[in-house]
Amino acid sequence: MTRPMLDVPQLEEMVRQLKIRIVKSISKAKGGHAGGSMSSLEIVTTLFFREMRLDPSNPEWADRDRFVLSKGHSCLALYSCLSELGYFPEEELYRPYKIHSPLQAHPELGVCPGVDMSSGALGQGLSVGIGMALAARMRKKDYRVYVVVGDGEAAEGQIWEAAMCAPKYRLDSLVGILDFNKLTLSGDVAEIMPLEPIDERFRAFGWHVISIDGHSIPAIIEALGEARATKGRPTMIVAHTIKGKDISYIQGKWECHSITMPPAEVEKTLRALGCPEDEIAWALE
């Protein structure tokens, strides 16, 4: 295992730097899924830079922990982490979505190093995570499986079929993390398909449930430790987040789901994140 193990201040600084990369990527690509990428970044960063067992020099390492981004449209959070860890050059992050790019609008297994599941068709990730956890048990491997689920896709039936299945097989190596930013592509989750009381619903299916502030890195670390210590059943971490966090003109609004940022807002956001002036100028070119 050759990747860094960052402490809380280092993780917080890493999140800031990766938010800059995401905004620059959106600016260069003339668009991108900002909302979920920014709401889930603390979660994904903590997993990749502290929690998961990985070797970036060997993306196919059989004993690595697995990561499934069920809400595949939030891939800029994943791509920014993979670029920092050296799975591919950072320059690729600023020319995504092109036909031969490894960075498509949804992650693709076999195309982008470090991606463990192709995602984009929502609702499938938790089921795939169950398959990975069962495979580990059958192969007598001790790797863990982490699945980031969107609250919009949690309205889909396959999520709840998986929610029934994982406790049946006592999959304590499986950790689901619900990015509960309470907004979907087109409006409020509470109006489109209410999830509350989400904690009690997963508990009723047999999950160990932890509710946290999804932007608090200490809370994320504590929850992941509690998940590791939980035996005989899977864990669901309900992470309360803000969609589009730190893109001030549009955060907390459903319209931030996928955006083309006006140049003035790119400049304003990057400056607020502490981006150097020369990098701001380059992002606006």
Task: For residue range 148-157, list pLDDT tens digits in order.
Answer: 999 999 999 9
Beta carbons of 266 and 27 less than 8 angstroms apart? yes
Tell me, what's the pLDDT at 133?
A: 98
Domain ranges, ordered by start, for the chain: 8-283
Q: Could you tell me which residues are beta bridge partners of residue 67?
A: 146
- Predicted TM-score (pTM) of this structure: 0.96
Tell me, what's the pLDDT at 3?
A: 65
User: What is the rounded distance in angstroms from the CA atom of residue 46 to the CA atom of residue 132?
Assistant: 21
Question: What superfamily does domain 8-283 belong to in CATH?
Answer: Thiamin diphosphate (ThDP)-binding fold, Pyr/PP domains (3.40.50.970)
User: What is the rounded distance in angstroms from the CA atom of residue 111 to the CA atom of residue 59?
Assistant: 12
Q: pLDDT, tens digit, for every residue of 236-272?
A: 999 999 999 999 999 999 998 999 999 999 999 999 9
**Beta pairing class for 187-188 and 183-184:** antiparallel
Query: Where on the phi/psi map is residue 52: left (φ > 0), alpha (ψ -120 to 50), or beta?
Result: beta
User: What is the rounded distance in angstroms from the CA atom of residue 205 to the CA atom of residue 169?
Assistant: 12
**If you write DSSP's letter for every residue of 150-212 in order, what string do you get?**
ETTGGGSHHHHHHHHHHHHTT-TTEEEEEEE-SEETTEEHHHHS---SHHHHHHHHT-EEEEE
The more confident residue out of 47 and 120 is 47
**Between the CA of residue 118 and those of 67, 89, 284, what are the distances in Å?**
11, 20, 31
Tell me, what's the pLDDT at 43?
A: 98
Tell me, what's the pLDDT at 2?
A: 57
Q: Which two tokens stand for residue 106?
A: 């949804």
CB atoms closer than 10 angstroms to residue 163: 23
Q: pLDDT, tens digit, for every residue of 122-178?
A: 999 999 999 999 999 999 999 999 999 999 999 999 999 999 999 999 999 999 999
